[in-house]
Structure 1
Amino acid sequence: MMNRCGLITVQKEPVPLKSIEVELEVRDHVATVVSTLNYQNKEDKAVEAVFVFPLPGDAAVCHFSAVVGQKEIVAEVKEKQEAREEYDDALSSGQQAFLLEESEQSPDIFSMKVGGLAPGESASIRLEYVTELAVQADDGLRFCLPAVLNPRYQPQGSEGASVQVFSVPASLVPYALCFCGRLFSPRPICKVESSCSLDPLQYLNTDQTQATVKLAAGHKFDRDVEVVIYYKDAHQPTAVVEAGQTSAKTGSLMGDPVVMVSLYPEFPQSVMSSVASCGEFVFLLDRSGSMDCSTSSSREQETRISSARDTLLLLLKSLPMGCYFNIYSFGSSFEHIFPQSVEYSEKSMEEALKKVKEMKADLGGTEILEPLKHIYSQRCLPSQPRQLFVFTDGEVENTKKVLDLVKKNSGSHRCFSFGIGEGASSALINGLAKEGGGHAQFITGTDRMQPKVIQSLRFALQPTVKDISVIWDLPKGVSVTVLSPPITSIFQGQRSLIYGQLSGQSSEAAEGSVTLKYIQAGRPSQNQLHFSLKPAEDTGLDAGFHQTAEMPCTGLTVHRLAACALIRSLEMENRELRERQDGEMKEKVVQLSVHSGVSSSFTAFIAVNKADGKVIQRPLIYRPIPGAMYLRQYNFDLDVPSVTPNAATASVYSSRSSFRGRLISALRRIGFNVGQSGSAHGQGMKPKQPLREPWLQLVSLQDASGCWALDPALAAALGKTSEEVESPKPDSVSQEVWATILALIWLRGFKMDAKEEWELLATKAVSWLRAQNGKKNCSNVLLFKPAVCLSSALLGLYVCFCFVSAPCVTECVDAGNTLLGCSVQKDALGL
């Protein structure tokens, strides 16, 4: 009889993982996550359950324990090989043991072994980690609880064993998730958004600085749980001093106070109002087979690759004149549109768009390392700072090698990364941006790719910040050891995080300051923050934090995060020294990991239940716990001739029919929606390609210079005939000026919901109109006053062109509004 609880694999084997409970606590921009995994062995023999699962790539795992019966067994951090041997020895002697270790290939994959679970026995595994919350371009703080772990692509010829992942379609994940969160902030919590259904946000106090959030009932752990938190006035610099552990030795990381400084640089208005007109923009697009997945269940016909094509269209239309660009795509191999980056012009843009239109998810695997090597081998262009945009669903295994390469070349470029879809590796996406001095974005659920990418393009168009330094001003007798890597990039409104270990003694009222200095657009700038050096007393849950706005925090959270930052930095340094066979750095990592209780690639958590003296009968039954995996939708050519088979073909026909039936049944069992015709879409033909949105069709007609041509294609995009568009054109106004004004009115009149997507290309159109200054475009001479400056698209679109003849202005706007059925005012356009 089938187990209706769902606790079976697709091979109908019992799965000992019953449920997962997750408690989230967010204090300002730091999250503490406690996961409890409940196991039960319903078999008549002892089992070893193995669960491979994802965690955020920058998470600091700091606690691992198991409760069996009434006894809690707390794990210790030990050198990885030592921990593995202790685990094997325990199982060999009939003892119960638990092992948690990080993958050697990628820091966002962990494996947990629950060994020696006796028949009928239950165990609760508790896993705790702390992580910094990434600030999105819209100022939200993003927390992601990863559920989906797609099989990671292992490059051909790579060394080391691949991580063994047992995955099932997301709809067949055989365990439930209970998720709740508590939010604490020194500033009001404005709202919380999620890719999953949430119960209404519950505030715990009148000033709305504390709240609870909870997943709606019935949620299955079949997709990533993404929560974005928005605070009022989020960009407030803070300094947090956390007291050291009283039992730890003074002078050690855990024994001394640690300060965490969050700075939000604010650039001068004069800098932000200027958009760079130079740069080399290199776009690297994933064309592996997984990019053929749907972007979300609500938009099944829109695939990741089709969304990426539309995104490249917007990017190319938004690039400034005078820059250089190239487009790479990769899978098992890689391609590039031009041998080397070319100057941005109408000809080069059209050539690129023609090839982008033909791009499909047809290049096989995910070999991202080789195209990156080729890009870095290209000589950088003088006075054209390189900006690299990477689009991938992030299913690679050699994450650390990729990040090492980006770090090695970080001085020559900025890297902006985009994780597409469920299962994208947070270690890869965040690591690319961190090591490349750029910004990371994730596109999941119903997110549109285009607005997030354009937000990152705005960052890329900000002038490069140079000569970044951090200056500490501390009282006499107090010193600081910086634990985090040097700051290599700064963007307007984006957080810069610094950890420092404080040594020495100071008076209770002592204060210190930290100053971030840099040069931008040739101008020296600085941001300074003063803070108290007195940490709060260690009182448990609210220990360690002291700042102007009272903000409690879990004890030693800052120490754990600082240790994690230092461990990651040392691990990367160790890989750089590996060719010299230098084991000293590895030993440093192991000692720091053991001392701080934070996981690393060289250590593991090990717990052995030695107390009850019971002997577990061997051999143990191996039971891999399935994780969620999103599968592509395929078409299978399974149809057979619709004729009656004769004697000569009967056996062949019979075998084909039998194979067809068995394959369809098998596909259904693993989650494919397969119709009788053999199509994995449930229809007998491939779905039609989604039509491009009308406004994107309009955008596709824009010239590289920023203007539009008055032609039938523009008329069709505006929903008019050529005659309807041409007849109301004011006398003597050029066709290009009239067409460009119409396009701008249409965008503002009908697509304000996508303003952040077309803002940059519309600003370029305005620049083109301003460049017509002095050209005769109407009977009274259409002029653009030099005194009127173009406001940056970063601050909103203001169409800052004006006519000497007011009647000509009115005539153009009125004619455009009448034609398009809009009511856009001159003031709204900035006329």
Structure 2
Amino acid sequence: MVNCFGLVTDNKEPVPLKSIDAQLEVKDHVATLVSTLTYENKEDKPLEAVFVFPLPGDAAVCHFSAQIGETHIVAEVKEKQQAQEEYDDALSSGQQAFLLEESEQSPDIFSLKVGRLPPGESASIRLEYVTELAVQADDGLRFCLPAVLNPRYQPQGPSVQVTSVPASLVPYSLSFSAQVSSPRPISKIESSCSLEPLQYLNADQTKATVKLGGGHKFDRDIELLIYYKDAHQPSAVVEAGQASAKPGSLMGDPVVMVSLYPEFPQSVMSSRAACGEFVFLMDLSGSMGCPMNNSTPQETRISSARDTLLLLLKSLPMGCYFNIYSFGSSFEHIFPKSVEYSEKTMKEALEKVEKMESNLGGTEILRPLNHIYSQACIPKHPRQLFVFTDGEVRNTKEVTDLVKNNADSHRCFSFGIGEGASSALINGMAKEGGGQAQFITGADRMQPKVMQSLRFAMQPAVNDISVSWDLPKGVSATVLSPPITAIFQGQRSLIYAQLTGPSSEEADGSVTVKYSLAGHPSQNQLHFNLKPAEDSELTVHRLAARTVIRSMESEERTRRGHQDEEMKKKVVELSIQSGVSSCFTAFIAVNKDSGKAVQGPLVRRNVPTDSHDYMAVDHLMDPLIKLFHFTGDGDLDSGRSARSAAEPPQPHKDPLLQLVSLQNASGSWMLHEALAAVLGKTKEEVEKAKPELVGLWASILALIWLHGFKMDAKEEWELLAMKAASWIKAQNAPCVSECVEAGNKLLGCSMKKEALGL
């Protein structure tokens, strides 16, 4: 009989994984994570333990080793099939072996096999990866350790088998600590998990350490947001090559990593054109009915999504085009094709948005994307795609490749909702689509992040981007990064380049990015010293190698022919040379020092990972949804239950959203009881205070109320307030100052006309 105490799976089998210790080191905006996984076999038979787990999608796994007793084995990177054969051969001959490999469908899923662990034996596995930290809308650098592996929606074909248990039953411990250093002071570090107080390690606050608080459960990712003072400073890091590597190779030559933060002229930024095609793609799978976070269970992901769509629709400029798609196992759209934004089309869309429910089953994102891309683009209205999803899909690479293949016709902004959202999917879509990725986790509100991305989408498109280098004589730069396809105000652009040729360490160089912004030629330049940074540990080289590997993998997938093998060969060569994993290679370690073969039949144990129970909703609802949906192209009412169709839309309780819902497409407001109620007045009180013959009164009152009482949510209403101010100015009324004065008196405010944008 199996002992049910201690480490057990949901099937009451002993679990060989005892603990995970994760140590993070952040240098400016590059992170290195070292994880130590400790296994112990408490059974009387030799074990094969299999652990499937997520890593950030853009991570470069660069070290894998094992410690068994006194024996230390460092794994080698080998071609995947060769590595798998060596692993199988080792097991069949009674040797201990370890195999780490990346999923072929999604770059953020890895499986670790610990083979032939003898009875009573322990093994410590050390896994190391490096990754760039993405910059969030509020300038925080985001690091995420995905502690949750949600079931991935699989449209067809086999999927990785994951044993899932509730968070409270995950039978191994996690410890986590982070050390942060930067040329700039660290202003704060925040997290969705409880942290111990931040400890500064020096007087100028450029080094700090922080640890995970006690009692962390495996019910959420570990997310850190790191804030530096003067975060938008461009920088360049030059790293010396590996002494043992061949000169002229990527690992043998110096590599420079350049971070640029373009700043656009205010005159260009203030003139937002009333054009664009805005397509919103909303996940309505079953899991969207779950709470946004544990502290406010009444606010579900779908209710937050409805509020967000309300703000988006009210903030669009007159004269643009728009459409809304929803998807689950099937997909739907409000209009057969994008329509011009007007009072009529806005109201029609909002009526459908209010009835949206999380009832479309699984997370099949490929089909609606194909449908959107099949629609002809509208001349002089650049397409802006906004994708919202809380799910994870198994065909991540297929989705990001599709976005990449259509990158010349649109910009893609992606939003990961809730814990466990796939960074490979969210970051990949934005990166390939020249847009921006945002993650909404913990107590985050969706609305400010989405509206920040809408401001990016309304920035003028940057064209004719080119990069040039000015280097000492005899030194040349080979750019390793894909071409820059999008530049936004204040958003970081990263460039990796290999430096070839002799140079003095005292020499300087510069890189210039030139582009056309709203028809005006612009440029940003950065000067840097070629002296390599000390104590680099080849971090920049590995990130550069990862960038090249991902580009070649993507190119290999898009080619269908005899050239595939040649590209695959190049990926394998660079992966082995750099020690960075790829989808065509794996890390293999065999313990050849164990004196005698491990005897006995091998027992396999899958290590369980936490999975939120609700994720199963997507899969359970899938066959039910198919009963109601005969086509993916019906309108948004088709397939709804009779109950939800009959229910009247619930009024917005939030006064801000109530005010927003009353705004017209033009940006104006009409004076009626609902508006007066939001302002805390009766309609009679508002009418009585109105100056004579004024048609602007309601709109000016709304602006005063927003500026006077809702400044903490300015990011959410700023665009629609600008639209309102433009409408008021376009009326050329002589009595605006008188109106503002009367409005201040009525609402008890003291707003200046200029502060309202008037």
What one-letter code is carried by the residue in structure 2 that aligns with 1:54? P
**Structure 1 residue 608, shift from structure 2 partner:** 0.6
Note if contact 2:153-2:391 (Cα within 8 Å) is conserved in structure 1. Answer: no
| Shift of residue 689, structure 1, vs aligned partner | 8.0
Q: 2:614 aligns with which of 632, 636, 643?
A: 632
Is the contact between residue 745 and residue 816 of structure 1 (CA under 8 Å) also seen in structure 2? no
1:506 match? 503
* Conservation of the 8 A alpha-carbon contact between 1:108 and 1:425: yes
Q: Distance in 2 between matches of 1:104 and 1:88?
A: 20
Matches of 1:409 and 1:175 in 2, distance apart?
A: 44
Instruction: Give yes or no for contact 2:243–2:252 (8 Å, CA) kept in 1.
Output: yes
Find the residue that maps to 2:7 and give its secondary structure: coil
Distance 1:461 1:691, change over 3 A: closer
What does residue 665 of structure 2 align with? 704
1:598 to 569, 580, 589: 580
Kept in 2, the 8 Å contact 1:83–1:606? The answer is yes
Which amino acid in the other structure matches residue 683 of structure 2? Answer: S
C-alpha distance after superposition, 1:740-783 (max 9, x if no partner): 1221222223222111111111111111111110x4xxxxx42x
TM-score with structure 2 length normalisation?
0.93
Q: Which segments of 5 or more consecutive residues in structure 1 lack a partner in the other structure?
A: 537-541, 544-553, 636-687, 776-780, 783-801
Residues 203 and 210, structure 1, Cα contact 8 Å, conserved in 2: yes
What SS class does the counterpart of residue 534 from structure 1 fall into? coil
- SS of corresponding position for 2:597: coil
Q: CA deviation at 1:305?
A: 1.2
Deviation at 1:45, TM superposition (A): 1.6
Rounded to whole Å, the distance in 2 between the matches of 1:181 and 1:632 is 31
Conservation of the 8 A alpha-carbon contact between 1:17 and 1:37: yes
Of residues 725, 733, 742, the one that matches 1:812 is 742
What is the one-letter code of the residue matched to 1:702? Answer: Q
Correspondence for 2:678: 717
The answer as to 2:144 corresponding to 1:162 is no
**Alpha-carbon deviation of 1:621?**
1.6
2:399 corresponds to 1:402: yes
Match in the other structure for 1:204 = 201
Q: Which moved more, 1:738-747 or 1:455-464?
A: 738-747
1:146 and 2:146 are equivalent in the alignment:
yes
**Structure 1 range deviating more: 399-408 or 712-721:** 712-721
**What's the offset of the Cα at 1:810?**
5.8
Map 1:79-158; keep pairs closer than 5 Å. Answer: 79-155=79-155, 158=156
Are 1:508 and 1:534, in contact at CA under 8 Å, matched by a contact in 2?
yes
Q: In structure 1, what is the Cα distance between the partners aligned to 2:593 and 2:187? A: 50
Which of 1 and 2 has greater Rg? 1
Partner of residue 608, structure 1 = 590
Distance 1:719 1:64 in 2: 63
Change (3 A) 1:730 1:815: farther
Partner letter of residue 370 of structure 1? Answer: R
Deviation at 1:433, TM superposition (A): 0.4
1:253 to 246, 250, 254: 250
Aligned to 2:719: 760
| Distance apart, 1:627 and its partner CA | 1.0
- Which residue number in structure 1 is paired with residue 547 of structure 2? 565
Judge conservation of contact 2:505–2:532 (CA < 8 Å) in 1: no
Distance (whole Å) between structure 2 residues aligned to residue 257 and residue 127 of structure 1: 26
- The match for 1:289 is 286
State the aligned residue count: 728
Q: How far off is 1:716 after superposition?
A: 2.8
The answer for the alignment partner of 2:645 in structure 1 is none
Distance 1:690 1:567, change over 3 A: farther
Matches of 1:112 and 1:426 in 2, distance apart? 20
Residues 1:33 and 1:749: Cα distance change in structure 2 (over 3 Å): same
| Contact kept in structure 2, 1:817 and 1:824, CA below 8 Å | no
Q: Deviations over 1:218-276 (max 9, x none)?
A: 22333100000010111111111100110111111111111111111111111122223
- TM-superposed deviation, 1:579: 4.1
Cα distance in 1 for partners of 2:200, 2:490 equals 27
1:18 aligned partner: 18
Query: Could you tell me which residue of structure 1 aligns to residue 43 of structure 2?
Result: 43
- Tell me, in whole angstroms, the C-alpha distance in 2 between the residues paired with 1:110 and 1:810: 61
Aligned residues of 1:287 and 1:361 also touching (Cα < 8 A): yes
Partner of 1:733: 694
Secondary structure, counterpart of 2:614 in structure 1:
coil
The residue number in structure 2 matching 1:664 is none
Of residues 742-751 and 21-30 in structure 1, the stretch that sits farther from structure 2 once superposed is 742-751
Q: State the Cα distance separating 1:731 from its structure 2 match.
A: 2.1
CA 1:694–1:814: 2 relative to 1, 3 Å: closer
**Could you list the per-position Cα deviations for residues 778-804 of structure 1 after superposition, in whole angstroms to 9, with x for gaps in the alignment?**
xxx42xxxxxxxxxxxxxxxxxxx53x
Matches for 1:277-676 after TM superposition, within 5 Å = 277-536=274-533, 542-543=534-535, 554-580=536-562, 582-632=564-614
Q: Would you say the 8 A contact 1:394–1:428 is kept in 2? A: no
Aligned residue identity for 1:77: V
In structure 2, C-alpha distance between the alignment counterparts of 1:368 and 1:830, rounded to whole Å: 41
Question: Which amino acid in 2 is paired with 1:571?
Answer: E
Deviations 1:497-555 (A, max 9, x none): 0111111112332221110000001000001111122224xxxxx42xxxxxxxxxx41
Alpha-carbon offset, residue 472 of structure 1: 1.0
- Report 1:39-78 matches (<5 A): 39-78=39-78
- Structure-to-structure mapping, 1:762-801, within 5 angstroms: 762-773=721-732, 775=733, 781-782=734-735
> Aligned with 1:531: secondary structure?
strand
Residues 747, 85 of structure 1: CA spacing in aligned structure 2 closer, same or farther, 3 A cutoff?
same
| Matched AA of 2:657 | L
- Secondary structure at the aligned position of 1:124 is classed as strand
DSSP-derived class of the 2:564 partner: coil
How many angstroms does 1:3 deviate by? 7.6
The answer on whether the counterparts of 1:472 and 1:513 sit within 8 Å (CA) in structure 2 is: yes
Distance 1:349-1:477 versus aligned 2 partners, 3 A rule: same
Structure 1 contact 98–114 (Cα < 8 Å) conserved: yes
Question: What letter matches 1:362 in structure 2?
Answer: N
Sort the Cα spacing of 1:349 and 1:810 in 2 relative to 1 into closer, same or farther, 3 A. closer
How many percent identity over aligned positions? 75
Q: Which residue of 2 aligns with 1:751?
A: 710
- Contact in 2 for aligned 1:277/1:323 (Cα 8 Å): yes
Read off the aligned partner of 1:274 and give its amino acid letter. Answer: S
- Which consecutive aligned stretches of 4+ in structure 1 deviate over 6 angstroms post-superposition? 1-5
Amino acid at match of 2:677: A
On the 8 A contact 2:255/2:496 being kept in 1, the answer is yes
Asked whether the equivalents of residues 463 and 516 of structure 2 are also in contact (C-alpha less than 8 Å), the reply is yes
What's the Cα RMSD here?
A: 1.9
- Give the TM-score, by structure 1 length: 0.85
The CA deviation at 1:726 is 2.1
Deviation at 1:312, TM superposition (A): 0.4
Aligned-pair CA distance for 1:581: 5.6
Structure 1 residues 361 and 830: CA distance shift in structure 2, 3 A: closer
Query: Could you give the per-residue CA deviations for residues 383-414 of structure 1, whole angstroms, max 9, x where no partner exists?
Result: 10000000011311111111111111000000
Separation in 1, partners of 2:245, 2:715: 51
AA partner of residue 722 (structure 1): K
